[in-house]
Structure 1
Amino acid sequence: MIDLYFSTTPNGLKAKLFLEEAQLPYRAIPVSLSKGEQFKPEFLAISPNNKIPAIVDHAPTGGGEPVIMFESGAILLYLAEKIGRLIPKEIHGRTEVLQWLFWQMSGLGPMAGQIGHFNVYAPEKVPYAIDRYTRETSRLYGVLDRRLADREFIAGEFSIADIACYPWIVPHQAHGQTLSDFPHLERWFMAMAARPATQRTYEGVENAYAPKQSLSEEERRVLFGQGTSPATS
């Protein structure tokens, strides 16, 4: 059994989507970010960066003590290696998947997250930031669109690269992007959305960046004003 600590953000949904695709038994443990549950000592013992997702694998390969992990990209890689699927064993295929996994972690996620924040959550409009991150996110969408021009999935066969990227394309409207501007990406997105595991993952899930979110001052402080603990400004 795997314990999944998550919230319905793109990164949290990445881990859930993997578990649904792999059909691994898991227990979803919601973490309310707006209530500051990510700062509780028991959660920090699992995820010292006070971010979701995090997992506890109570039945690791080879037995022994449970494996505790945080960071969504590391979780996807660990789980793929655990089941021997969704990442090729052959070196060329494996490196393709790893490159696009890290591309999502270092580029698509952070940039899309920034424009999502400034478009939806920022208490005031910051034109420079909105323009900067909209343009960079558009560039990254274009990179993925070109990549998908001659292949069904990002790294050839369906893999953790697709699982990592899809949740960050779901809130494309909040990113200021129109999918029809990226026809190959749009085709891939629709195919991903039609997968049974995707539908199970997103059942009842609201878009984390759906305009316009209404936050209390306390929720805003907890989500965006914290250092290492709720007491830190």
Structure 2
Amino acid sequence: MTTQTKPIELYFFPTPNGYKISAMLEELGVPYNVHIVHIGKGDQFKPEFLAISPNNKIPAIVDSEGPGGEPISVFESGAILKYLATKFGRFYPADPREQVKVDEWLFWQVGGFGPMLGQNHHFALYAPEKIEYAIKRYRDETHRLYRVLDTQLKGRDYIAGDFSIADLASIGWARGWERQGMDLKEFPNVAAWIERVSNRPGTRKGLELTVDSGARMDLTRDEDAKKVLFGQR
């Protein structure tokens, strides 16, 4: 089992993607330092952050004890989860066939369950005008994805069998079901899974990672933050 003597540097903001990595680090029990990147104030465009996350998105990590003992930076939440799981040999199976199952659902999340739910949030909650077609389009797709997840969870405690990075990737997004316009009575397997994963001590602690009030934002009211987040080309 790999040990970590120096803290991993986590560049974080309290979003579903940010919580993936704080939950993973807590589950692993490795030391880490939190660096708040206030995405509503444009911290993600600072040169020192772009040096480790060129897509100007959180989360990102810097591991001073990377491969060969040399520092490494990793951006994109799915890549970070795989890096940490591979390094520490946890929450990612050794068997190649089981790895495929986890990878399928990890990429399902980063390619669909996150982006589509994010568009749902945008058009239903934050857009300056209510475009009914867009709201319906993304709520319908959100509903379809919840149905896919509910079907996969039938008879399973976790998405890909054992608890894995597939669950850590999806839990932060699924906990926002109410603001996404979903009714969990339609998805009983998802409801049970959310409770099961959220009550894991490590995941719960990671999902509860807090920032001071000055580092929070309310996109339903903060017009300056909207300009930073939604006005970039």
Could you say whether these structures have the same fold, taking a TM-score greater than 0.5 normalized by the shorter chain as the test?
yes
Matched letter for residue 32 of structure 2: Y
Distance across 2 between alignment mates of 1:135 and 1:110 = 14
Quote the Cα distance in structure 1 between the aligned partners of 2:125 and 2:83: 33
Decide whether the 8 Å contact of 2:172 with 2:207 is kept in 1: no
* 1:188 maps onto 2:193 in alignment: yes
What does residue 41 of structure 1 align with? 47
**How far apart are the structure 1 equivalents of 2:184 and 2:210?**
20
Equivalence for 2:56: 50
Q: 1:19 matched to which residue of 2?
A: 25
Shift of 1:178: 1.2
| Pairwise CA RMSD | 1.6
Match of 2:229 in 1: 223
Among 218, 221, 232, the residue aligned to 1:214? 221
**Distance in 2 separating the partners of 1:22 and 1:109:** 23
Look up the SS of the partner of 2:203 in the other structure: helix
For the pair 1:29 / 2:35, whether they are aligned, the reply is yes
Deviation, structure 1 residue 202: 2.7
8 Å Cα contact 1:174-1:211 kept in structure 2? no
Letter aligned with residue 213 of structure 1: T
SS at match of 2:41: coil
User: What count of residue pairs does the alignment treat as equivalent?
Assistant: 222
> Counterparts of 2:44 and 2:227 in 1: how far apart (Å)?
14
Residue 55 of structure 1 aligns to a residue in which SS? Answer: strand
Aligned to 1:114: 119
Higher relative contact order (CA 8 A, sep 6+): 2
In structure 2, the partner of 1:94 is 99
Q: Give CA-to-partner distance per residue, 1:201-227, whole Å, 9 cap, x none.
A: 232659xxx9972112x2211111013
Q: Distance in 2 between the 1:116 and 1:153 partners?
A: 25
1:198 pairs with 197, 203, 210, which one? 203
Identity %: 50
Which position in structure 2 is the counterpart of 1:231?
Answer: none
Equivalent residue for 1:174, pick from 174, 179, 201: 179
Aligned equivalents of 1:121, 1:162: Cα separation in 2: 27
Q: Which amino acid is 2:222 matched to? A: L
Q: 1:173 to 1:214 in 2, by over 3 A?
A: same
Gaps of 5+ in 1: 228-233
Q: Structure 1 pair 62/212, CA: closer, same or farther in 2 (3 Å)?
A: closer
TM-score under structure 2 length normalisation: 0.91
**1:120-144 CA distance string (max 9 Å, x none):** 2111211000000000010000000
Tell me which residue corresponds to 1:68.
Answer: 73
Q: Relative to 1, partners in 2 of residues 1:3 and 1:74: Cα closer, same or farther, differing over 3 Å?
A: same
For 1:124, what is the secondary structure of its paired residue?
coil
Q: Aligned partners of 2:181, 2:218: CA distance in 1, in Å?
A: 11
